[in-house]
Amino acid sequence: MPRHRNRAVFLDRDGVLVKHIHYLSRPEQLSLMPGAARAIRRLRAAEFKVILVTNQSGVGRGYFSLRQLHKIHRRLREMLTRGNAKLDAIYYCPHAPASKSRACSCRKPAAALFKRAAKRFAIDLKSSFVVGDSTSDIQAARNIGATAILVKTGYGGSDGRHRVEADKTCRDLASAARWIVCFP
């Protein structure tokens, strides 16, 4: 039986997989982070599911449409394919941040998108990893019981939204993937 059959690596998009652009709204703005495709290939070769989980409040704020977001993600998949890499799935929250009394259940650090992926792919969340550049990503990992990895690209944890520590801090996605594959 494969060692990582029910494990996943959940990636944030902006600042982790692609260069951070404030409210990225057009496919031509996409630029993969150095080593991103290689990192995904490494993780998939180690039999992890690799799943993108991203907050896209620009849709809820009216900065761009769901149709534009789908074009961006289609372009992202094309760019990864050119690097012989593939995501297993993309999950996104299109909602704008709400007050604490009206928060949606899918916006990170909430767990709904991770649970949806876990159900679809029979993933053991507690044996999985979340790689992100913000404290919301790290808090999301805590909320699902996964190992939290902060990368120093993008926000590099400087957003200060949550008082939470990562299990591991890495320079970028490529170094995070190397660490994950060697994780006991």
Q: Which residues are known to be catalytic?
A: 12, 14
Structure tokens belonging to residue 21: 């652009």
Residue 47 to residues 8, 50, 60, 100, 138: CA-CA distances in angstroms? 9, 9, 35, 38, 23
Whether 7 and 48 have beta carbons less than 8 Å apart is answered as yes
Which pairs with CB-CB distance under 8 Å and at least 24 residues apart come from 71-79?
Answer: 71/27, 72/24, 72/25, 72/26, 72/27, 72/30, 74/27, 75/27, 75/28, 75/30, 76/13, 76/17, 76/18, 76/30, 79/30, 79/32, 79/37
Residue 147 to residues 23, 89, 175: CA-CA distances in angstroms? 27, 20, 15
